Chains A and B, each alone.
Chain A
């Protein structure tokens, strides 16, 4: 079979070849294309090519760039000439990915790939329109050589004051045709010239080898200790943030996410920097432990309660696995939990960084070396490589999470990446302690991670002064009051402290608890809508027992005072109806006589007056008539046009999107100047007939000039129902 097109090449592949292709470009089979021609269309579509190119490493990208520079078709030898011998292996990889295919006459690139690679690949300008005498370059004047030196490795464009008055060096180059003017102030160096000067190589240096990671080796023991400390810290942070919000929910911003003030509160509560607090919140958010409810409150979810009951290894796995796959980067300068943190490459970069660390054993690479290796692996041609700050954020976050310890991948991180058992975390965690040491300065120290129940109880009655592996609590009037507010009694608190403390409870603390218990709740506050008072306690008792005024919901709070859940006005009505003679009292206790005369508190707003229409001016009348006439004419024309096109539409053959695309591509290549007749479906599925001059196909759309309007429009190819040449 002669391979005339990319589709033919794909047809020629055996099953193994296709599987290799799908392995490296999984987007081609989701969803599975119906046939090879649709596969070919998809494989040469821009989004798929972008993805494929982005998955290349630096070396492969360089070879692909070289291939795009030399003219098609090319042989392996030609490619190796302008790169080096090692490119042979890169070429094979590129063919596997169908970024280069083998036609009947040599290697070719699928359509659109050049567009994906962009203009001025490898800093090379356009090909000259006429044949150049490259030998003359060796005899170039010194001034011209200087100009060439500046431009040879790109960018190929240079700015000049005025192309019409070039300096002598440039003038010679312009005269010889090695350089051409682009506009008044810009000149461009031709591709052949640059290649010749580069010694017929496309790149200065072909980086075939992945740069070695360098850094210091972390001792296994301290690596493990550091990671465990990071893991415990992170789990504690998460718990603390969510417990904090469980008591005092934060409010989400209108635009979504956590406001700066609430973030600062968390930052202070945890005693960490704000980047770290943002990250903790983000991880809890992506793991579903916290959410924004319909009232815009930020609250822990039920999932959090379930999470709390897990052993540390599962807790950690929950958080970390959510982080591994998220496309959100909490390092970005935007509100955590907000809508602006997504970056499409985040997960890819994160995965790659961790894979690199995984391969580095217990090496903690320096950030420069890690960045160099990462950028070789993910050269990302559009953004000029992975931004250094992404890497900084990712390594920082990995450290916070304990995936790394002192910069090197921890055993737990390695287990996670390789899907191994994580229960080692539970046994490696420092043993929890169940006691505290109370000291006479009213502090209590838990000399290690506290058991959950003890910590929770202590949290109620003491403020945390210092956090870490151990916790320092301080008892104060307000902290003890908090415990009482939560329903603990003084005796309970004291009993709890006596039970948990290894040291005797100091006497001043006992006194403090006693003092506060004594004072707590002495003052009572409640709400009532009105009150009834009377110096005659017998009458008060009578009202309280009167069934007719039961509706008032009365409660006696003093011998002479009743409080009532109803407003004063209602209470008076009900009491009067029951035969009592109440009088109203104002806030100063003065008797109010008679009904109060009331006035509105708001400004007067009388209704709008609706008047007669004003007589239109002559001018306005004339405009109105003209508008109506024009409209009339236009719709008559429209209906005639519609008739004609309906007729034409009937004769149009129907074609599928892929066929249409092939016809259009062919048409554009063979006789681009001829008009086409197409059927085009609008948003509602109504098909109309158009006469168009096709201009260009890109990204699944056809750009064409529509004869009816004379405008250049974009037609989406799947909506074109059929095509015929005129």
Chain B
């Protein structure tokens, strides 16, 4: 019996004891093929998935290496059936290859004719294929490169894509490291992406995903299309690129509702891309308007469905997805994998926190009691109104007011879902409210004032969930959310994770009504962060009023 840090379970999960002296070494060894599922305080859970194993094959690891690693670090005997399964799954990858052929264009080549025969008979695949060239080769319609990869993956015979990428129009881009330095993990992430060709980089909020994007652009040295969630984010990207790279203002264009600039580096919003005019997507040409060498998808967990469809058509361009949480409430992780690419880099939040790149945060759930009258009203509310009712209960207002006064000297964000609740809070707290209808210009002014400390408290709706860079915010108070959305909770915490100038920790309060579905949703929302190692403390509203925090 060895005394390794890893426990290999028969259901293909790997439990890593992080208090073990070999845990760091072991994590490095298993990271190429196992996906990190949860990273709470003591035992991290990794999972062996088919995607992960194929991914490892793509990166040049073979089954023997995987098996050796498992056996080497395992504390107990590794189930034999699991080892067989690993070898079996890994051997499925690479039997089919997509290649570029000088005569026939895109072709599907196999080393195993039986597999090819199987896939060309599949209903979903047949229409994507062209003429049979010989026993081992068949032509593929070049436009179907994405679709065929998707379908083959679903059949369990993933194709290795050797057809390569177009370089795109060259454009000189360099990182300009004056007065700052790219962090080690950012460099690893950018390199991991570049060697993999395309893929997704997962980094916690505030860990500098923009810089990973910039580093990737410096690798590509080509024209780049950046897709972001909204205009504020687009401006932040522009500012950041100007600061961190050799690009100047004329080289960066914004393509949004208000501006339609196409430059060597163009930043477009999802909203404008998916805007329909007379039933057709009016701005699709953007994808073809330039010979892009790189396409960056910011906040890839929010990517709207139409963008996936466009992405299927541009498989020959390099694609980089950036996100903090590859959790999609709509379960479209598989689409992200096959169309943007596999996960190329992932690191537990707590590890980055330990390196000091994101602020340590404390999560606190404040439970408020509904008054007797409120409870009765809640009990009789229509089912679809219930969440709204308990999330916006009046009692919360008093608690928020108390919390704000307790942290009067700090920069505070109050985040909520329901506009009338936010307006009400804004009035009570005497703080400005930013919501969907707030004009772009006003938003930026307010954010600027918040950054400089002119305003110490902002009330924001979900427009501020993502990509808003507010480094000095140290306190976030969440009063209501989009039901049980896990990624929203993580993104909101992300607003306060930027490292503070004085190294102060951040606090994230979630105000929840006791004994209602608000509490159930809160539990679901907290799951992602709990799995990342953030533990919540629960306190009572009365403790707040007595200043016991």
Contacts and interface: CB of A to CB of B under 8 A. Distances in A.
A139 interface: no
Given A437-B43, A439-B43, A226 B13 contact: no
A515 B10 CA distance: 34
Interface residues of A, number: 36
A594 B75 CA distance: 79
Contacts of A575: none
A405 B535 contact: no
A200 interface: no
Interface in B25-72: 38, 40-43, 45, 71
Contacts of B43: 437, 439, 445, 447
Contacts of A447: 7, 15, 17, 43, 75
Interface in A195-227: 222, 225-226
A507 B10 contact: no
A280 B79 CA distance: 17
Chain B contact residues: helix, strand, loop or mixed: mixed
A469 B7 contact: yes
Contacts of B536: 440, 507-508
B79 A233 contact: yes
A260 interface: no
Interface in A426-448: 430, 437, 439-443, 445, 447-448
A469 B530 contact: no
B538 A508 contact: yes
Interface in A232-277: 233, 271-272
A468 interface: yes
A445 B38 CA distance: 13
Interface string B386-429: 00000000000000000000000000000000000000000000
Interface in B344-388: 365
Contacts of B546: none
A466 B9 contact: yes
Contacts of A472: 9, 13, 15, 45
Contact of B8 (A437, A442, A468): A468
B538 A442 contact: no
A467 interface: yes
A375 interface: no
A228 to B, nearest CB: 6
A515 B80 CA distance: 43
Interface in A443-496: 443, 445, 447-448, 466-470, 472
Contacts of B78: 226, 229
B527 interface: yes
A430 B15 CA distance: 17
B538 A511 contact: yes
A230 interface: yes
Given A468-B7, A507-B537, A228 B77 contact: yes
A482 to B, nearest CB: 18
A469 B77 contact: yes
A441 B527 CA distance: 6
Contacts of A437: 42-43
Contact of B42 (A467, A503, A511): A503
Given A437-B43, A439-B43, A441-B40, A430 B76 contact: yes
Contacts of B523: 508, 512
Interface footprint category on B: 35 or more
Interface in B4-28: 7-11, 13, 15, 17
B408 to A, nearest CB: 27
Interface in A497-544: 503, 506-508, 511-512, 515, 519
Contact of A503 (B41, B79, B538): B41
Interface in B499-549: 515, 519, 523, 526-527, 530-531, 533-538
A405 B15 contact: no
Contacts of B103: none
A468 B1 CA distance: 15
A503 B40 CA distance: 12
A507 B366 CA distance: 13
A397 interface: no
Nearest to A396: B81
A406 interface: yes
B538 A507 contact: yes
Nearest to B10: A468
B75 A441 contact: no
B75 A469 contact: yes
A467 B15 CA distance: 11
Nearest to A429: B1
A35 to B, nearest CB: 56
Given A222-B71, A229-B77, A441-B38, A469 B531 contact: no
Contact of A508 (B45, B75, B365, B533): B365
* Residue among A226, A406, A440 facing the most chain B CB atoms (10 A cut-off): A440
A445 B15 CA distance: 9
A693 interface: no
A439 B40 contact: yes
Given A439-B40, A440-B41, A468-B7, A226 B77 contact: yes
29 contacts: A225-B77, A229-B79, A229-B80, A233-B10, A437-B42, A437-B43, A439-B42, A439-B43, A440-B533, A440-B534, A440-B536, A447-B7, A447-B17, A447-B75, A448-B7, A448-B75, A466-B9, A466-B11, A466-B15, A468-B7, A468-B8, A468-B9, A468-B10, A468-B79, A470-B15, A470-B76, A472-B15, A507-B535, A515-B519
Interface of A: 222, 225-226, 228-230, 233, 271-272, 399, 405-406, 430, 437, 439-443, 445, 447-448, 466-470, 472, 503, 506-508, 511-512, 515, 519
Given A440-B530, A468-B11, A519-B515, 19 more contacts: A226-B78, A226-B80, A233-B79, A430-B1, A437-B43, A439-B41, A440-B40, A440-B41, A440-B535, A441-B527, A448-B76, A466-B15, A468-B9, A469-B77, A470-B9, A470-B76, A507-B538, A508-B536, A508-B537
